[in-house]
Amino acid sequence: MISVLKVIAPGFHTTVQDEGRRGFQHVGVPVSGALDRSGFTLANALVGNGQNASCLEIIGSGPELEVVSSSVRVALVGSGGGLDIVGREDPFIPSGQSIRLTKGEIVRVRLGGDAFCSYLAIEGGFDVPLCLGSRSTYTRAGFGGLSGRQLRAGDVLDGSIEDVAAREEVTLSEQRNLRFDQPIRVVLGPQDEYFTEDAIRELLSSTYTITPASDRMGFRLDGPTLAHKSDYNIVSDGIVAGSIQVPGSKLPIVLMVDAQTTGGYPKIATVISADLPLLGVRGAGRTVRFKAVSREEAEAIRRAEHQDVLSIIQDIRPVGEMQGINLKALYTCNLIDGVVDATA
């Protein structure tokens, strides 16, 4: 193991995550892994990693880190913020761009406030012990990642490269669209028959708000209640990420990547896998609308989403090519916000 980064300040909730721990739900072990699979994949691509290299998932506020290896290449993806490098003449590196740091340099992760979670990748990935085939942290049971917990001040993070090669840095060719206004698509069931027809209509026509009582296990939603036909208890059965449980409160809970593996409340619908990252980046206060699709449509959407991420990766460019005005990115910005009277 090669010591790469020392944690000066850990941020609000920073953990090591990869694609998750699959194949153990039958014995009660959640999948875990990155809440925002797309952001995680793009961060790894920017530093030249394979798609399952472990990253830091950052929620709430960013960490402050000191380079203790000869050099390290890092990239942040997921927010509108970036990296502040203490002591440099041009200290700010925007999200979506790689940068090589050298021993003794201190980097502060600045989150832009747009995304609930962001990802910091290093070239070669973070080297923590495999636990059931994954490096993902599951804090509720205290295993995986760095001793099964979020980062603390004084922790030293290991990597696999002591001194990364100097080369031209790269950037995403356009600002990532987090699609906060897009409806989250669901497949109804597996227990939609436990709900009234009005409840189904309410779910698919209403706007819900993510509450502060939300975390990697589940996003609790506030909004119109969803009436059960009778009892709200069922014999416990399997849970997958994206399951929408409705307990006795009649308010939906979307179960996320750290969700339990069984549950005894009826599930009115299931968020499709392609849209889980879109939900995962929405924090407390963000709104959610739902739209029903068929299983066949969900599978086609997932294939298209995978191709979209591959297209973004293929369009990664050297930073030098992106100097000057980037019209493609400019067209995504609201340049006239606040104009009241164009003739004044």
Q: What is residue 273's predicted lDDT score, i.e. its pLDDT?
A: 96
The model's pLDDT over 46-68, given as tens digits with 9 standing for 90+, comes to 999 998 999 999 999 999 999 99
Residue 34 has pLDDT above 90, yes or no: yes
Residue 46: in which H helix or E strand, if any? helix 37-46
Q: What is residue 329's predicted lDDT score, i.e. its pLDDT?
A: 44
The model's pLDDT over 133-179, given as tens digits with 9 standing for 90+, comes to 999 999 999 999 999 999 999 999 999 999 999 999 999 998 888 99
Q: What is residue 9's predicted lDDT score, i.e. its pLDDT?
A: 98
Degrees to nearest 5, angle at CA 171 with 11 and 95: 25
Q: Average of pLDDT values for 229-255?
A: 94
Q: What is residue 89's predicted lDDT score, i.e. its pLDDT?
A: 87
Residue 339 has pLDDT above 80, yes or no: no
Q: What is residue 1's predicted lDDT score, i.e. its pLDDT?
A: 82
Pairing, β 184-188 against β 287-292: parallel
This prediction's pTM: 0.91
The model's pLDDT over 105-128, given as tens digits with 9 standing for 90+, comes to 999 999 987 789 999 999 999 999
CA dihedral sign of residues 67, 72, 73, 76 = negative
What is the band of 182 on the pLDDT scale with cuts at 50, 70, 90? Answer: very high
